Amino acid sequence: MMRVQYFIDTANLESIKKISDIFPITGVTTNPTIIAKEKRDFKEIINDIFDIIGKDKIVHAQAVGSTAEIIVKEVQLLRDTFGENFYTKIPVTPEGIKAMKILSKDGHKITATGILSPQQIIMAAEAGAEYMAPYINRSDNIGENGIEIVKDAYKILEMTKKTDEEKLARYKRIFEPKILGASFKNVRQVHETILAGSKSVTVAPDVFEKLIYHPYTDWSMDTFNSDWEKVYGEKTLLDLL
C-alpha cells in the first residue's frame, strides 16, 4: 500500500524541532536559498538537522557546482561526510543530468530539482534520480499548471516502470522513482499534487501546520471539552479508570 512521504522544506532548527515532534515526517529538504538564510556553517547545519530528526531519516541539500565534474565530486564528498541517508539535489540542467547519469551508475542517492516540466521529470528518472521535485507554486505563478506537470509525468513513470533487475543493472540499487512535490503556498496545492500521483511532498513549516488545520475541528474539540468539564471538571480518563 502506498504511503505518502512528508518532508519539511526548511533548515530552521526551531521549525524542524516543532514539526518533527508532531508529524510523521520522512525527512528534511533544503536548497541553497534555505541554507543561506541560516548564515551558519553548512556542515553544522546538516549535522544539526540529523541530530534533531534522527540519522534514520533523510536530509536533502543541493549541489552548487556548475559543471557535471564538480557536481560529481560534491556528491561523493557529501555522501562520505553525511552518510547513506543524505540525498543530493541536482538541478535538471544539461550538466546536472550528465552528473546524475554518472552518479547513479555508482548507486548515489539523487533528487532532481528545479523542475518545471514533465519531460524534466522523465529525463531525470531515466538518468537515475530517485526523487524528482517539481516546483508547483512557481509553475502556477507564471500562469502554468504545476499539478498538470505531476499528472503527465506520473502517467509516464507508471508506463515505464523498471524491474528490480533493470534498476540494479542501471543504477546499482533498487528504488522506486518518486515525484517529490515542492514549492507549495497552500494546502490545496499539496493535496492535489498527492492526488495527481506524487508519493512524496516537501512543505515549508507555515503550510505544513495548516495541513491538518480545520476551524470546525477546533470548534468540535472546544465543545467536547466544555461539556466534559461541566460534569467531570479537570479529570482525564487517567483519573477515572
* Strands, E assignment, 192-231: 200-203
Which range binds ligand G3H by CB under 6 A, 135-143, 163-171, 208-216, 233-241? 135-143
Among 57, 98, 105, 138, binds ligand G3H (CB under 6 A): 138
Residue 20 neighbours by CB under 8 Å, 6+ apart: 8, 52, 53
Among 10, 26, 183, 193, binds ligand G3H (CB under 6 A): 183
Give the active site residues.
89
User: Which is closer to ligand G3H, CB of 20 or CB of 167?
Assistant: 20
Q: How many Å apart are CA 64 and CA 40, to the nearest integer?
A: 17
Q: How many Å apart are CA 148 and CA 127, to the nearest integer?
A: 22
Which range binds ligand G3H by CB under 6 A, 119-127, 130-138, 191-199, 214-222? 130-138
Report the nearest approach of ligand G3H to the CB of residue 141 (Å).
8
Contact flag: residue 182 with ligand G3H (CB under 6 A): yes
Binding track over 193-222 against ligand G3H, x by CB under 6 A: ---------x--------------------
Residue 101 neighbours by CB under 8 Å, 6+ apart: 127, 128
User: Which is closer to ligand G3H, CB of 10 or CB of 104?
Assistant: 10
Which range binds ligand G3H by CB under 6 A, 19-27, 71-79, 134-142, 162-170? 134-142
Contact flag: residue 31 with ligand G3H (CB under 6 A): yes
Number of residues located near ligand G3H, criterion CB under 6 A? 9
C-alpha cell at 51: 541530530
Among 137, 175, 187, 211, binds ligand G3H (CB under 6 A): 137
Contact flag: residue 135 with ligand G3H (CB under 6 A): yes
Please name the helix (run of DSSP H) or strand (run of DSSP E) that holds residue 107, with its range, or none: none
DSSP string, 132-149: EEEBHHHHHHTTS-HHHH
Residue 160 neighbours by CB under 8 Å, 6+ apart: 122, 125
Contact flag: residue 85 with ligand G3H (CB under 6 A): no
Q: How many Å apart are CA 74 and CA 77, to the nearest integer?
A: 5
Residue 137 neighbours by CB under 8 Å, 6+ apart: 146, 183, 184, 185, 189
Binding site for ligand G3H (CB under 6 A): 9, 31, 113, 135, 137-138, 182-183, 202
